[in-house]
Structure 1
């Protein structure tokens, strides 16, 4: 059921104009108070994070994901500029020198295929972010289009609830 729903949402997402939620994210108190920010490096069909990344690189410690293997294990790696990343696994930008950041992470932006108003998300099916969020105490924010925000979505027992979902028209704190 979850994989069928994911497939339908991926097809729907391809028809949605790419959106930017920079101002909403940058104005959050949780973001403003954060010293360390984990930002996913967006792909063409995801909510764009590049504006947030450029602004954050000037003011805070920036961490980006590095997928260690195909089993859903991911680490956070510090970067100082976009010169520190290259295209990697799944054609996603990743750090050139993946050294795990082991200190606290204050704020995390989370991608997804679909989100629910009660804080759950459907990702790409490998569990990278669920495993990561389970082991890192951080304020987690999912970025979504309005079209891919649902009242409920299929979930599994291992899915991790986010602290907030942001769309162009909504900010839902969980």
Structure 2
């Protein structure tokens, strides 16, 4: 177990260095290409309830996407509640800074079963659709047993050949980068 944690630490450090090397223009154009690909997919077109994250500075930027779709889709954001994520409906007027400095909506909680499609951040992904997060397991617990489409989004530099995966880790259904869609 300690060896796995050490390997994950090394991967997180490597990916952080890669993302730090990305310029602002590259990050912006990458996010645009990622979301253009997502928006063209029938799963997105047909989805009515979408869970997306409010991005941190080192993640694929989501604010423009949220602003674009807030009137056409029902958007939800995760909220940290103890050791769990709960889901609350997005409204630009009800955001507050939550745990870890992440913008979170206030209001009622909704059941995860309501969600058609979830857009998931990650530190790294591999070609087997495994995801490495920040190490707290929030998304793994939230998504465990739910049938919604799980879409990981990442810069191309976040894709590595293989990640150490554990039985409780939830795989993505697809991963979208600026350059490709990984779905097998």
If the length of structure 2 is used for normalisation, what is the TM-score? 0.87
Q: Which residue among 21, 44, 53 is the counterpart of 2:57?
A: 44
Cα deviation, residue 117, structure 1:
1.1
Distance 1:100 1:15 in 2: 38
Q: Which residue among 129, 140, 147 is the counterpart of 1:130?
A: 140
Matched, 1:74 2:80: no
Aligned residue pair count = 170
Cα deviation, residue 51, structure 1:
2.0
Q: Which residue number in structure 1 is paired with residue 17 of structure 2? A: 11
Whose Rg is larger? Answer: 2
Distance 2:9 2:145 in 1: 25
Q: Which residue number in structure 2 is paired with residue 116 of structure 1? A: 126
Q: Which residue among 86, 96, 102 is the counterpart of 2:106?
A: 96
Q: Which residue among 161, 168, 180 is the counterpart of 1:151?
A: 161
The alignment partner of 2:151 has SS state of strand
Unaligned 5+ residue runs, structure 1? none
Cα deviation, residue 22, structure 1:
2.1
Task: Describe the superposition over 1:126-163 as per-residue Cα deviations: whole angstroms up to 9, x where unpaired.
Answer: 00111111143210100111111112112222111100
Distance 2:104 2:10 in 1: 28
If the length of structure 1 is used for normalisation, what is the TM-score? 0.91
The alignment partner of 2:141 has SS state of helix
Cα deviation, residue 85, structure 1:
1.1
What RMSD, in angstroms, separates the aligned Cα atoms of the two structures? 1.4
The alignment partner of 2:76 has SS state of strand
Q: Which residue among 23, 48, 60 is the counterpart of 1:35?
A: 48
